[in-house]
Chains A and B, each alone.
Chain A
């Protein structure tokens, strides 16, 4: 029932997008009909150049997350396990977590230029503190009485790590990972839109500047679908893990 309702919403959204420019309520130059945008997207996806741009953006995101994830998790584990470190660094980390990251983008260009590694570095900077905070929260979610009980029954360190720590930490770590992917995607796209020669962000920005709205909307649609698909995929894993946990 709910799923049907949501599908109806989606269909209504597409129908409205199609109808508004068709009946003259919106300028088709400014809002190309949905079917036109879909056709444009099909054409674009057949081009090797666009696939290369999509590949560049994906690779930047993957490398950024692959660096931020272990680094943030290690730092978060240190803060979560060590009381003294936590008392010194928690306020600083929370401060760095809460300040807006996007406005630091020009500094990355001054120091690193506008290439691949500048996007990766900005992606790492934008996601590191999310991972760090959730890793620290994950460690703190492990209940000491569970650890004591396991130890009392003679569990080894490896067993405690594997059987007590991991199941308790996994949902929070996955949530942090999901947010890192979402925010990392935004960061990488913003960096490409701001100053770049490649990538989907660069394409989107230049289609906008050249008033190629059919392609622009096709690009926005594509990136939205990719982002939602990534998000739902990680959520699916989360749901699986919590199922397995209980």
Chain B
């Protein structure tokens, strides 16, 4: 049997067990509600889930602008200039160890329990990794390209528009993918902790009343959003990679997509 087929069988077995274990009573429904029940709840309660999803996604959108915008800008500055890079990069990678989740109570004390505290927290949550990835990525721009452009008499504006920006696109895109994933998690986690709306709040509320089908439905929904975002971004990255590396040998890892 081919590895792909065995993998498909494993996934199928997981789905079947998800249905069969609670149905047969081997696992309590509280621990694991059957797949069909979870999906049925998701369908029946769709208006509630959709409203919560709307709240969450709008918070994600705003936080994404702050996290990725700030991360790309700071990352480009820190990574691109030799002085700040040597001074700051080790500082930022030390700060990376700080468990940012402990800042969320500060955010709620400062901004209340509405959307603002989620946006603030998720922005900080997504900022650091985006910045570090950008700082690393900006240095992968081939200096030969800049040298060639300069020797052919390109003006600084032309060098920026025609050389640096196109060469930075892969970095920007992978920053957006990484930052976006973290912002989604940041918003949902914040909603799970203290909130009055959103998908994370819905999950926590269902958890406190031990309504496990709704908990699973909410978690499944968040997972689908995270995976969907990742796949969409990878697709965009692949399209841009084809274009920006035209004429260069195709690098293999660009095709590595989680299945």
Contacts and interface: CB of A to CB of B under 8 A. Distances in A.
B237 to A, nearest CB: 14
Interface residues of B, number: 55
Interface in B90-121: 90-91, 94-106, 108-110
Contact of B192 (A88, A106, A228, A231): A106
A208 B106 contact: yes
A201 B100 CA distance: 12
Interface residues of A, number: 51
Helix, strand, loop or mixed for chain A's interface? helix
B142 to A, nearest CB: 26
A216 B259 contact: no
B91 A9 contact: yes
A227 B97 contact: yes
Contact of B98 (A104, A106, A111, A227): A227
Interface stretch (B65-73, B159-167, B212-220): B212-220
Given A6-B91, A106-B215, A182-B97, A209 B207 contact: no
B3 A185 contact: no
A24 interface: no
B94 A232 contact: yes
A228 B30 CA distance: 39
A228 B7 contact: no
A102 B259 contact: no
Given A2-B86, A95-B259, A204-B102, A100 B184 contact: yes
A189 B99 contact: yes
B195 interface: no
A61 B105 CA distance: 21
Interface of A: 2, 5-6, 9, 30, 84, 87-89, 91-92, 94-95, 98-100, 102-107, 109-111, 182, 185-186, 189-190, 193-194, 201, 204-205, 207-209, 211, 213, 216-217, 219-220, 223-224, 227-228, 230-232
28 contacts: A2-B86, A9-B88, A30-B110, A84-B3, A88-B3, A88-B6, A91-B7, A92-B7, A95-B258, A99-B223, A99-B226, A100-B188, A102-B188, A103-B223, A103-B226, A106-B203, A110-B207, A189-B99, A189-B102, A190-B101, A190-B189, A193-B102, A193-B193, A204-B105, A207-B105, A216-B105, A217-B106, A220-B102
